[in-house]
């Protein structure tokens, strides 16, 4: 590490954190304030965490701007992993209006899809409703 740079200077270019492992809104907001949204990636520690409930938490219970939701949920990963823009993935950065807020949640009420209960702090209460 160079002497003229602080550790915080490396966030967003060389150091990144993820949401995996906790789904804690206060922790996410604190991280955003301290290191900025460009250093945070949405992720889920499957199979130890529920993918649908992680998406519900992120889309419906995190009080941040649509732009920050899309950056954390999609665009930051595309900046860190530029090969995702190449074949066979061909992913591109999006704006909030292009992917829905966050773009992670299931479409509630869509025929044939499972609707998941709201995120809560007790894993034992996170169950699918059919």
Is a pLDDT exceeding 60 seen at residue 109? no
Q: What is the pLDDT of residue 4?
A: 84
Clarify whether 71 is annotated catalytic. Answer: no
Residue 15 and residue 112: Cα distance in Å, rounded? Answer: 40
Buried b (16+ CB within 10 A) or exposed e, 13-27: eeebebbeeebebee
**pTM, rounded to two decimals:** 0.71
Q: What is the pLDDT of residue 114?
A: 47
**Which of 4, 45, 59, 71 is an active site residue?**
45
pLDDT digits (tens, 9 = 90+) for 49-107: 888 888 888 888 889 998 999 999 999 999 999 999 898 888 889 888 777 545 454 44
């Amino acid at each position: 590490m160079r002497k003229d740079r602080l550790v915080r200077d490396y966030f967003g270019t060389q150091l990144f954190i993820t949401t995996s492992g906790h789904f804690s809104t206060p922790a996410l907001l604190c991280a955003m304030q301290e290191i900025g949204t460009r250093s945070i990636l949405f992720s889920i520690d499957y199979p130890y965490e529920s993918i649908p409930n992680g998406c519900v938490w992120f889309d419906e219970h995190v009080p941040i701007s649509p732009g920050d939701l899309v950056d954390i949920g999609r665009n930051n990963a595309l900046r860190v992993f530029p090969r995702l823009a190449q074949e066979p993935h061909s992913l591109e950065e999006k704006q909030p209006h292009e992917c829905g807020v966050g773009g992670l949640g299931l479409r509630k009420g869509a025929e044939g899809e499972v609707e998941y209960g709201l995120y809560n702090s007790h894993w034992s209460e996170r169950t699918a409703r059919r």
